[in-house]
Structure 1
Amino acid sequence: MSDPRTNDEFLDDLEAAEAEALASELEEIDDEALELEELRAERDDYKDRFMRALADAENSRKRSDRDRREAENYGGSKLARDMLPVYDNMKRALDAATAEGSEASKALIEGVELTMRELISVFKKHGIDPIVPEVGDRFDPQNHQAMFEAPLPDTKAGDIIQVMTEGFMLHDRLLRPAQVGVSSNPG
Structure 2
Amino acid sequence: MSERRKEELEKEQAMQQDGRQAPEEERAEAGDAHETGEESAAGEDIGANEDIGTNEDTGANEDPEVIVPEPDPCLEEQLALERDQFKDKWMRAVAETDNVRKRSRREVQDARRFAQAETLRPFLEVYDNFERALRSMNETELDEQGQSVRQGVELIFQRFQAALKERGAKLIPVDGCEFDPSVHEAVGSMPREGVEAGHVIEVAQQGFQFGDMVLRPARVIVSS
Aligned residues: 154
Equivalent position to 2:153, from 94, 112, 117: 112
What code does the residue aligned with 1:84 have?
L
SS in 2 for 1:147: strand
Q: TM-score, normalised by structure 1?
A: 0.63
SS in 1 for 2:178: coil
1:149 matches 2:149: no
Structure 2 residue runs without a partner (length 5+): 1-68, 70-77
The 1:94/1:132 distance shift into structure 2, 3 A limit, reads: farther
1:43 and 1:169 map into 2 onto residues whose CA distance is 53
Identity %: 38
1:49 and 1:142 map into 2 onto residues whose CA distance is 43
Root-mean-square deviation over aligned CA pairs: 3.3
Equivalent position to 2:198, from 141, 158, 182: 158
What code does the residue aligned with 1:129 have?
K
More helix by share: 2
Once the two structures are superposed, residues 75-132 of structure 1 have per-residue CA deviations (whole angstroms, 9 ceiling, x without a partner) of 2212222221111111111121233343223443333223322221221122111024
SS in 1 for 2:181: coil
1:13-162 map, 5 Å: 50-100=90-140, 101-134=142-175, 136-162=176-202
- Cα distance, 1:144 vs. partner? 1.8
Higher RCO (CA 8 Å, separation ≥ 6 residues): 1
Q: TM-score, normalised by structure 2?
A: 0.54
What code does the residue aligned with 1:125 have?
E
- Cα distance, 1:171 vs. partner? 0.7
- Cα distance, 1:179 vs. partner? 1.1
Once the two structures are superposed, residues 128-174 of structure 1 have per-residue CA deviations (whole angstroms, 9 ceiling, x without a partner) of 1102422x543232322110122344543223232111111111222
2:99 and 2:81 map into 1 onto residues whose CA distance is 27
